[in-house]
Amino acid sequence: MVLRMLAVMVAGLVGLSGALAAEPGASDWSVNETGRVRLIAATTATGSDAQLRLGLQFQLQPGWKMYWRTPGDAGYPPKIDWSGTDNAEGPVLSWPAPKRFELAGLQNFGYAGEVVLPVAMTLARPGQPARLRAAIEYLACEKICVPMNAQVSLDLPAGTGQPSAAIHDLSRFAALVPGDGARHGIGIDKVTALGDTLFVTARANPGFQSPDLFVEPAELGAFGAPKVRLEQGGAVAVIELVAAPGSATGPLVGAGVTVTVVDGLRSMEAERVIGAAEAGLPDNASLVAMLGIALLGGLILNLMPCVLPVLSIKVLGAIGHGGAERTHIRAAFLASAAGIVVSFLGLAGAAVALKLAGASVGWGIQFQQPVFLAVMVALLLAFAANLWGWFDIRLPSVLMNVGAGGQPHHTLAGHFLSGAFATLLATPCSAPFLGTAIGFALARGPAEIMVIFAMLGTGMAAPYLLVAAWPEAARRLPRPGRWMVTVKKAMGVALAATALWLGGILATQTGWLAPTRESGAGPAVRWESFDETAIAAHVAAGRVVFVDVTADWCITCKVNKAAVLDRGEVAARLAGGTIVAMRADWTKPDQAIARYLASFGRYGIPFNAVYGPKATAGIALPELLSEAEVLGALDRAR
């Protein structure tokens, strides 16, 4: 408080000196702790012209920023009330090209240091004096945001006007107002969209150096930071913006848009109607690398904890092939692998449809739907009861037939469905490389989504494909016999436990049960509810913030809690009072959480991030946590 009062006193002294040295064609400075503002004119008198060239000149203290006409994810633009003005009307405000500021994942657009907002007004009575009055409301932000108000007044006498001392500042910033790009050698070739991804192709001569893109209106979608690809030595820039899931009010294709391209001191602005982009694949090595990551992620998914209940299906299927013919074993395992891959393609198709409809997409989000959970619980309990011998499920002949010795065997269709069922049970899990591949796919178009998901399915189906290539491994298993009754009962327990777990999630979602709080071996951590807008304030105050995005249906999340977050030194640090621990519960659909995940290119959980004075944009942690990784991120963010 003392420092703030001193800042105001110093600013007041600066303002007093400015007032004593007031210039013709400029108002006195209105001074506050964030800087100062005044009204300037291009001339010292009204002259005979019917037009007045004016400007609102802001000079901000170091570290302070103010907002553009479209502020981005937070803030608001300056508002000007011209009440009390006489002999001047129809103010038209122009906006110099903005800069992008990023804090805690939020994209904001505005100005730092100094800016002049040019204003054009018309004299109602040319040749007569003009009285100009402006009440300005604006938001200035540094580590905190402060709403500011300023009153400025300027009287221009009649007579022949001379250029004012402020005309240079006014002209300098007027030149930074984006035009059609002709004088800067910038043009826009096309503006297209694919799903929730916007593509702008621009040309420049001389070539681009570091272009940025701003899109209006804000209602079109909450776009993240642009991805820029320069081609032909910088002569062409392909700029890609991805809208956060659920932020778009409708399909991008066919919508009107204002795009502003900024490259250093050069800029241009244009209005376009968004066309449809071709659903082609990237022509660089990124897709090839991501296909390898997807294959590895699908393979590792077989080892994740949520897949353990599926082992009952896999084990019984493998045992059932003991002593069978090689051709039968090969066909059966290929059918199971096909069930897995086709199921992944079905998930990809659903993701594409949801994206095109503007809805949120993510890995495992079907477990947010009570109807899906109820169906899965019923199926699992029925299978468990069947394995315990309570009743026999006589499947259609298309799924079962009787082989040698009178033993029932799955047909190829039955093996196919068992692979599909295993895939559905595996989706609550995330695995190393899985989140990376899914984030890459869901941030792009339908073609990439289908290809990446197909590779994920191939990775998960790899063990089946391996047995199909070497069927002798299955032939060497013991032949089915009475001992399988015990194995079936054990496998039934696994399926029943999974059904009870899903039933608990269903009861929580529907309000039948209150959410349970998990307790670990370490100190109790005081978790705050997730609030993305509060992260920046905590960081500005010098605090470290740890964010945990979790859900009741996410088994990998529970493993992270039991193994890392709720025990040992990590729990002690989170409970120590120096770190703000935030938890986002994605058990039910939540658009704010979906947008937050998408800002990191993630579409599944678990997800954890660490923020701090040295990590304002956040440090994203891997899906499977380790104590060393969490502690290291907490130290780096301080």
* 117, 174 Cβ separation under 8 angstroms: no
CATH code for the domain defined by 527-637: 3.40.30.10
Number of residues assigned to the chain: 638
From CA 69, how far away is CA 95, in angstroms rounded?
Answer: 7
Say if residue 70's pLDDT is above 80: yes
* Among 333, 331, 327, 289, CA closest to 462: 333
Over residues 586-590, the mean pLDDT reads: 87
Over residues 580-594, the mean pLDDT reads: 90
Over residues 388-417, the mean pLDDT reads: 57
Say if residue 401's pLDDT is above 60: no
Say if residue 145's pLDDT is above 90: no
DSSP symbol at 163? B
Counting Cα atoms < 13 Å in the Cβ hemisphere of 506 gives 15
State the Rg of the chain over Cα: 32
Phi and psi at 216, nearest 5°, equal: -130, 155
Predicted TM-score of the model (pTM)? 0.52
pLDDT of amino acid 326: 74
The domain defined by 182-276 folds into: Immunoglobulin-like (2.60.40)
Say if residue 332's pLDDT is above 60: yes
Reported as a pLDDT band with limits 50, 70 and 90, residue 76 is very high
Q: What is the percentage of the chain residues whose pLDDT exceeds 90?
A: 41
Structure tokens, 487: 């194995």
Task: Provide the pairing of β-strand 579-585 with 544-550.
Answer: parallel
From CA 481, how far away is CA 407, in angstroms rounded?
Answer: 10
Write the secondary structure of 222-288 as one string of H (helix), E (strand) and C (coil): CECCCEEEEEHHHCEEEEEEEECCCCCCCCCCCCEEEEEEEECCEEEEEEEECEECCCCCCCCHHHH
pLDDT of amino acid 430: 65
More confident position, 621 or 6: 621
Query: Residue 548: in which H helix or E strand, if any?
Result: strand 544-550
Structure tokens, 538: 């905590």
Say if residue 20's pLDDT is above 60: no
Amino acid identity at 360? S
Give the strand order in the sheet containing 197-204. 227-231, 236-242, 197-204, 186-194, 275-276
Say if residue 407's pLDDT is above 60: no
* 8, 34 Cβ separation under 8 angstroms: no
- The domain locations on the chain are 2-174, 182-276, 285-509, 527-637
Interior/surface letters 529-555, b for 16+ CB within 10 angstroms, e for the rest: ebebeebbbbbbeebbbbbbbbbbbbb
From CA 191, how far away is CA 231, in angstroms rounded?
Answer: 17
